[in-house]
Chain A
Amino acid sequence: MAKAKLRQILAADKGKVPYLERQKKLQKEARKRKRVQDEKEEGSSGDEEEDEEMKVDGEWESDDSEDDSEDDERVIDMSKLEDSDSEEEDEGEDEDEDEDEEEEEETKKAKNGILKSSKATTATTAADEDDEEEDEEDEEDIPLSEISEEDHDPEADIIPRQKLTIDNHSALTASQSSIAIPIKKSTPFSTHHTIVTSTPVEIKDVHDDLTRELAFYAQALDAAKQGRALLLAEGAPFTRPTDYFAEMVKSEEHMGKIKEKIKEQAAMKQASADAKRQRDLKKFGKQVQVARLQERQKEKREMLDKINVLKRKRAGADMGDENEGDPFDIAIEKAEKVNGREGRDRRGPNAKRQKKNEKFGFGGRKKFSKSGDAASSGDLTGFNSKGMKKNSFGSGKKAKAPRPGKSKRQGRR
């Protein structure tokens, strides 16, 4: 059969996925078991069994593949309608997975007609359920292959795989009632201290820390308020008196550490805020400085301009005084302005240049500059006849007046 071949190929495909191997094994076992069961139950109606399998397959598909389930479901419904005459009526409904499972379970039990002791119910139902699951898995070729494809895709997110699981409601409620503390309305609140919120806590995004913690906080706060009111109404002690000291959950040492941590954090926060402020100030300060400098420069320029204007005015006034009515004075000024360089040249080179010129030969020959010549010998400006008389040759009168006496020198002072 083509179907069998396809199944083989798919099985080979599945073989790569490690967790599916286990399932395959289970499937085999289940198939074997089922065959045995079938033979026991009704050797003749093998077709019906297959039909049922088909139906189960359809249901599984409708549960699993949500995106393209529209068409499939229609088909399934059709198949169900066809099958419904041979099957129980309640199976025709398309409901939740769990409920369906349970119903199937029950019908199966009815079919088998096996009476089960109440104590062993849970175990057998669990086993039965297992059977059912594995039967279902038997036929679910397409969804599994889809899953395996997704697994091969490296980009795909890790999808929490939908395992078929046990959820035995009756056993759960039984075990709950077996251990439950009998809390009635009459039992005082102080015995159990339990508060259940009036509405279920809903958190939009569990991964958003803030909203999640806020929801928890709100829940706890509400409980605290309620509990306090209830306890106070009952007259039970609630608030710890201020002079009641006892060991705490966190030791002094630990609290000290926490305090330090908090302080440190506060300090860090302040430091960072300060630094930020400083940075801002610095930025602002620089702007201020630049502005101030510009202002100063502007002032200076203005002052200089004023002075220049004043100077010019003064100069203009002087000129006006001296040569009043002279029509040519403007022309002279212009000429002076044009010959600015020449005007400077008239003053000659600067002192340094002059000195250098003297020293390095720009002032004519210097070789015999110190030796006498006709002009120097003819120059008698330094001659003094008196000096000749005085002490030129050590003779003559004492020219120098004698040193006055002490008293006279004192008095002169």
Chain B
Amino acid sequence: MSAVLKSVTDARSTKSKEESTDSTNGIDKKFRQRVLILSSRGVTYRQRHLLQDLTSLLPHSRKDSKLDTKSKLHQLNELADLYNCNNILFFEARKREDLYMWMSKPPNGPTVKFHVQNLHTMEELHFSGNCLKGSRPLLSFDKTFESKPYLTVVKELMQQTFGVPKGARKSKPFVDHVMSFTVADGKIWIRCYQICEAELGKKDAMETEEDEENKKKAAKKVGRSETEISLLEIGPRLVLTPIIIQEGSFGGPIIYENKEYVSPNVLRAEYRNRRAQKFNVRSAQKVGREIKKKALRLDKHRVGGGGGKDWEELQAGLKDLFQDDD
């Protein structure tokens, strides 16, 4: 085993040496990424597990303890500086149900705030896929990411946070999983798959002579791709809705705002209002009926005495009613 690893690493090292001789060392530096992953206080266990999953998938990440504040997020910049990180993935939990994800390039890069929905962690998904801890993923982006300027920013940030840089500290030399980012319905869907390679069986290869000939031709054409590739999902699953993009890192002017985004608070309020509508209508009817009754009674009184306390009440009631109706 070690021999194989050694040979592989040797090959890599020689290759990298060649590269370094070819080009300057600066490129490697530019590709170097380190991600600070942390959450705010008040995360639920599922959100915490998501964090765990992400850290296990990203060997170049640095997990930190929960951040105390939800308002002074600019503190994160200092924190990132402290840990030598140039990416921040911050999960902000609100009301024990809403999760927001901030993705930023600390010193002065842009910040994107997402709303996280349809969150499923690896633990609860029971997918049979698995991959090496620390292997570098292939990042698959939807072409839609290049259609709009805000999506290009999001893509760039995702590429840098989720792409494990070459030669990261705990990374493994092999590639055995794909992370796919797709834009659909104005949201970004993230999936993670294991790559399964299966050699085409001898049985298949020796079916008939004709087939063999065909296969030989095909092999000549394609080269070494005799293996069949299939995917197994690993998890986690999540859907991100971009909310805003800030120019600075946790600060600066807002340069993009999603108009289709509806806050979950608004949705909940609307739902509650709709449910309360029945009661409101009924109570309004009740008040109206009472006023009507009083008015009828008053007419009797007014024949004799007229006016009085009841009349004032009626006036007040009418006023209320019409205000309500408005």
Contacts and interface: CB of A to CB of B under 8 A. Distances in A.
A181 B147 CA distance: 19
Nearest to B56: A249
Contacts of A220: 140, 178, 180, 191, 193, 231
A17 to B, nearest CB: 10
Contact of A243 (B1, B176, B182, B185): B1
**3 nearest A-B residue pairs (beta carbon):** A223-B140, A172-B149, A165-B257
Contacts of A232: 223-224
What's the dominant secondary structure at chain B's contact region? mixed
Given A197-B141, A197-B142, A240-B132, A235 B15 contact: yes
Given A195-B141, A237-B8, A227 B175 contact: yes
A228 B229 contact: yes
A193 B138 contact: yes
A203 B189 CA distance: 12
A160 B260 contact: yes
Interface string A163-195: 111111101110110111110000110111111
- Most A Cβ at <10 Å: residue of B1, B28, B253, B258: B253
Given A193-B137, A244-B5, A200 B132 contact: no
A256 to B, nearest CB: 12
A284 interface: no
Nearest to B152: A176
Contacts of B160: 179, 181
A13 interface: yes
Nearest to B187: A206
A181 B31 contact: yes
Interface stretch (A56-64, A209-217, A314-322, A369-377): A209-217
Interface stretch (B123-131, B208-216, B305-313): B123-131
29 contacts: A13-B326, A123-B253, A162-B260, A167-B150, A168-B255, A172-B152, A172-B255, A173-B149, A175-B153, A175-B255, A191-B166, A192-B159, A194-B163, A198-B143, A199-B143, A203-B182, A216-B189, A219-B142, A220-B180, A224-B140, A224-B193, A237-B173, A239-B174, A240-B135, A240-B174, A243-B4, A246-B172, A249-B57, A259-B128
Contact of B262 (A160, A171, A173, A240): A160
A172 B150 contact: yes
B175 A196 contact: no
A130 B119 CA distance: 34
B97 interface: no
Nearest to A261: B126
Nearest to A162: B259
B76 interface: no
B184 A203 contact: yes
- Most B Cβ at <10 Å: residue of A168, A176, A241, A261: A176
A400 interface: no
Interface in A242-279: 243-250, 254-255, 257-259, 261-262
B184 A212 contact: yes
Interface stretch (B39-47, B67-75, B77-85, B266-274): B266-274
Given A224-B195, A235-B11, A122 B178 contact: no
A254 B234 CA distance: 12
Contact of A238 (B108, B175, B257): B175
A55 to B, nearest CB: 22
Interface in B1-18: 1, 4-5, 8, 11-12, 15
Contact of A192 (B31, B149, B152, B253): B31
Contacts of B245: 172, 175
B157 interface: yes
B113 interface: no
Contacts of B156: 176, 179-181
Contacts of B164: 193
A237 B132 contact: no
Contacts of B274: 154
Contacts of A192: 31, 139, 159, 163
A147 interface: no
Contacts of A173: 149, 152
Interface in B45-61: 53, 56-57
Contacts of A244: 1, 4-5, 174
